[in-house]
Structure 1
């Protein structure tokens, strides 16, 4: 089961992203890693329909970039496009979300 995430982008429009089970499996590689506390929190709360505040979204965006760099440095295969979409979503949620 995938996690569908939304944030308000303007008055009416919502921006959507999804974390698939396949991407969740990739994210589990950093579960409980002290360098990725926000991704660990997201994994732990995946099925709880978490509410993510803009400041946390910014931290998640930063951790996604760090995670991509780690995977690239280790020459490990990973779903690059889904991770990039996740980064774009969290960046947007951090900068354009309306209360």
Structure 2
């Protein structure tokens, strides 16, 4: 059973629940401390930039091929994703790790 990530009301940005405000968290990915992970509940996909991919010492053998349409950015430019990657991601440490 998974435990939801939750906050007390006084910890929420602006003091109220707002699903439009992205959350910036720190996580451990593939045994590497990633200091800025943007959690955006309105996003349709999760994106890892090339620099992080290389920092985690991943290569093409870790990718599952992407079959689908190109992704379109806010500026209208499109890009073809390299593929999918499955990683163990941990939030917190020791007894409180999720």
* Higher helix proportion (structure 1 or 2): 1
The TM tier, using the shorter chain, reads under 0.3
Larger Rg over CA atoms: 2
Q: TM-score, normalised by structure 2?
A: 0.26
Q: TM-score, normalised by structure 1?
A: 0.25
* Higher strand proportion (structure 1 or 2): 2
Greater relative contact order: 1 or 2 (C-alpha under 8 angstroms, separation 6 or more)?
1
